[in-house]
Amino acid sequence: MTQDISPKDPRPYHHGDLHRAIVEAALDVLSESQSTEFSLRELARRAGVSHNAPYKHFADKRELLAAVSAVGFELLAKRMAEATKELDSPRERLAAMARAYVSGGVNNPALYRLMFGGYLGGQEDGRPAIERTAANNMKALVVEAICDGALGRLIPDTAANTRKIDGAILIFWSHMHGLTLLLVDRLVGPSDKMEELTEGVLQGMLDGLANCIPEIPAGVWVGPPAPE
């Protein structure tokens, strides 16, 4: 069974929490339409509030979408954590996270593209801090599995190993991100073979990393830089 990045999952909600209501409305519209071409007025109507209400919490649509993307990362991290909770083997945990990652993106492409695409990027200030924080929390799950021995050896999470750990993450992410987009864009298929395709790419990638983990060059980062 696949797991998606879906707004239908229960999330903390408090009566009168307008911020959460607007974000949930945006997640619903994004899932239904698979497009970010919606207005804050439409979200206000969905949430049952005045058309000006969203502006009490979001300066503009970009700020709203940053909050939506952050929730997407929280949902994906939850999926990844749930997929690994019964697993002891670090390699099996990393593999389970990879499967959750790919299936999540394939089942909600618009949210995936928002989270990992360039829509929220800016030449001056990069991606919004709320999104970067959530993305780095998700990344920490992958780092933990790698450091625990998912690639056939323990790699202590120390400054001396940062470039090696990020090198492993770069290879892992490149394979999973690439496969996700190939499946979404139907350049690889059919869709009912997604799990088999994911498994083949995943095991080949893990076997390769078990033999060699390339260190990233000095000065390179992997994933959105953490907020200062």
Tens digit of each residue's pLDDT, the chain (228 residues): 344 565 554 443 344 588 888 999 999 999 999 999 988 888 888 888 888 888 888 888 889 999 999 999 999 999 999 999 999 999 999 999 999 999 999 999 999 999 998 777 754 557 888 888 999 999 999 999 999 999 999 999 999 999 999 999 999 999 999 999 999 999 998 988 999 999 999 999 999 999 999 999 998 888 876 555
- List, in sequence order, the alpha helices (H) in 13-60: 18-33, 40-47
CA distance 53 to 44: 7
Domain map (residue ranges) of the chain = 16-58, 69-211
**What are the pLDDT digits (tens) for 151-193?**
999 999 999 999 999 999 999 999 999 999 999 999 998 988 9
SS3 128: coil
* Closest to 7 in 3D by CA, of 97, 120, 109, 108: 108
CATH superfamily of the 16-58 domain: Homeodomain-like (1.10.10.60)
CATH code of the domain occupying 69-211: 1.10.357.10
Phi-psi region of 223 (alpha: psi -120 to 50; beta: other; left: phi over 0): left
